[in-house]
Chains A and B, each alone.
Chain A
Amino acid sequence: DAKTTQPTSMDCAEGRAANLPCNHSTISGNEYVYWYRQIHSQGPQYIIHGLKNNETNEMASLIITEDRKSSTLILPHATLRDTAVYYCIVNKGGSQGNLIFGKGTKLSVKP
């Protein structure tokens, strides 16, 4: 079973920030939080990951709570092309086994 819980779906207006929450209350100290997304009929696309510090890249920001039991992925200016299923996954990283995908959050960006 996936070690994370996410809302089933979310809507966001185009141009606005999309904030996608994830709970991972059983995360262990050496596990990272990874975010991937999957656009229809494509392979998963890596977005961002972090251990305990907040992270930002050209795609998104990742905010991890101090206790590491939850995190939020932020797409600062959502576009229609950001419509996808977003997966939050905890993993030890590198070649440390397969990624366990939950059901993710279906984000619909609307004009």
Chain B
Amino acid sequence: GAVVSQHPSRVICKSGTSVKIECRSLDFQATTMFWYRQFPKQSLMLMATSNEGSKATYEQGVEKDKFLINHASLTLSTLTVTSAHPEDSSFYICSTPSLRDTQPAQYFGPGTRLLVL
């Protein structure tokens, strides 16, 4: 199956700074990638759908100007948390959808733990 990596695995930053998280599809060309967020003891919630070569689609309640998504190539999508605040501290996970019904619906990255002080 496809392998998805994320970098960094964890990051600590000061309030007001911006943080970039990379999601790479290592052996699979992904025109679409999904970004999820997971707060402690809660389930994954979709934030946005990243589309290669076009604008991302954001879920209701997710600020597109705060969570900037760039999908410049078929193997890389980036999520930038701008002017991060403590309430943005969370576990951010990306995924790529498979192309076949015989495969998992999505392949997930290992996640990035963000802590904003």
Contact = CB atoms under 8 A, between A and B. Distances in A.
A43 B105 contact: no
A95 B32 contact: yes
Contacts of A101: 36, 43-45
B108 A45 contact: yes
Interface in B51-69: none
Interface residues of B, number: 28
A102 interface: yes
Interface residues of A, number: 25
Interface of A: 32, 34, 36, 41-46, 49, 51, 87, 89, 91, 93-96, 98-104
Contacts of B105: 32, 34, 49, 89, 91, 93-94, 96, 99
Interface of B: 1, 4, 6, 32, 34, 36, 43-46, 49, 91, 93, 95, 97-101, 104-111, 113
A102 B113 CA distance: 21
Contacts of A99: 44, 95, 105-106
